[in-house]
Amino acid sequence: MTGRRGRPPKEAGGLSRERILREALGLVDEEGLEAVSMRKLARRLGVDPMSLYNHVDGKDALLDGVAEVLLAAIPAPVPGQDLRETMSGLAHGFRDAMLGHPRAAPLVLTRQLASMTALAPVEAVLGPLLAAGYPPERAVHGLRAVLAFLIGTLMREVDAAPTFSATGSSGRLASLAGSGLPAVSAAAPYLAVCDHEAEFEFGLGILLDALAP
């Protein structure tokens, strides 16, 4: 005898927190953060919505868990590298992890996470700074400068913050060139577009120079 059509089973074999978070990330990738609900996720998994609560406490906890999945994808520092190489590797690893799932990236870039997973990037940045001779107070300043740069530049790159440009817009270029502001007019061809990778590398280079022991 078959179950009622259109209703998922109460529990699907192999349901786990890891599987739930992986499927939730897939849902965000496909439909965006605004599409996430416990009911929709349960349908994707073929389970009763209430069974999800055996593994996550609710939607907020689910979104925190998705953020943790992204953070866990950041590669650990390579032992034996100097401070510049280490910080460059961490910055590029962070960027790659966020751009791999740009619709989910705001979960990391805008949410305050309290789990141990969220502290892993903090440890990854603080450790090399302390090892390079930074006193703890100055290392925290360095940490916050690194995070401010990464969050700011990546918020623009995933379209969550203004870029002060309109890539490919001839109207934007004409508007800037005719603004009557000397500096803006002179820089108009460059203000009208935004090469995210070039911007990232330029800003990162300045930051790495400033962090050099």
User: pLDDT value at position 116?
Assistant: 76
For residues 54-74, give the mean pLDDT. 93
Q: Is the pLDDT assigned to residue 8 strictly greater than 70?
A: no
Give dist(CA 161, CA 149) in Å, integer.
Answer: 13
Cβ-based burial of 125 (10 A; exposed 0-12, middle 13-18, buried ≥19)? buried
The verdict on residue 118 lying in a domain is yes
Q: How many domains does the chain have?
A: 1
Per-residue confidence band for 78, with pLDDT thresholds at 50, 70 and 90: confident
∠ CA 160-76-129 to the nearest 5 degrees? 85
Lowest-confidence pick of 24-33, 98-107, 128-137, 162-171: 162-171
User: pLDDT value at position 2?
Assistant: 42
Give dist(CA 113, CA 65) in Å, integer.
Answer: 9
Q: Is the pLDDT assigned to residue 73 strictly greater than 70?
A: yes
Identify which of 93, 58, 92 has the alpha carbon closest to the alpha carbon of residue 74.
93
The verdict on residue 33 lying in a domain is no
User: pLDDT value at position 20?
Assistant: 97
**DSSP collapsed to 3 states, 3-36:** CCCCCCCCCCCCCCHHHHHHHHHHHHHHHCHHHC
CB 172 within 8 A of CB 166: yes
* CATH code assigned at 168: 1.10.357.10
The verdict on residue 7 lying in a domain is no
The verdict on residue 177 lying in a domain is yes
Task: Look up the domain containing 156 and give its range.
Answer: 71-211
The verdict on residue 26 lying in a domain is no
The verdict on residue 197 lying in a domain is yes
Contacts of 92 (CB under 8 A, 6+ apart): none
For residues 7-36, give the mean pLDDT. 83
Per-residue confidence band for 189, with pLDDT thresholds at 50, 70 and 90: confident
Contacts of 185 (CB under 8 A, 6+ apart): 176, 177, 178, 179
User: pLDDT value at position 148?
Assistant: 93
For residues 108-122, give the mean pLDDT. 81
For residues 195-203, give the mean pLDDT. 93
Lowest-confidence pick of 52-61, 96-105, 108-117, 149-158: 108-117
CA-to-CA dists, residue 131 to 120, 128, 135, 181, angstroms? 17, 5, 9, 47
User: pLDDT value at position 1?
Assistant: 40
The verdict on residue 187 lying in a domain is yes
The verdict on residue 103 lying in a domain is yes
Q: Is the pLDDT assigned to residue 53 strictly greater than 70?
A: yes
The model's pTM is 0.82
Q: What is the pLDDT of residues 158-180, one digit of tens each?
A: 875 555 555 555 677 888 887 88
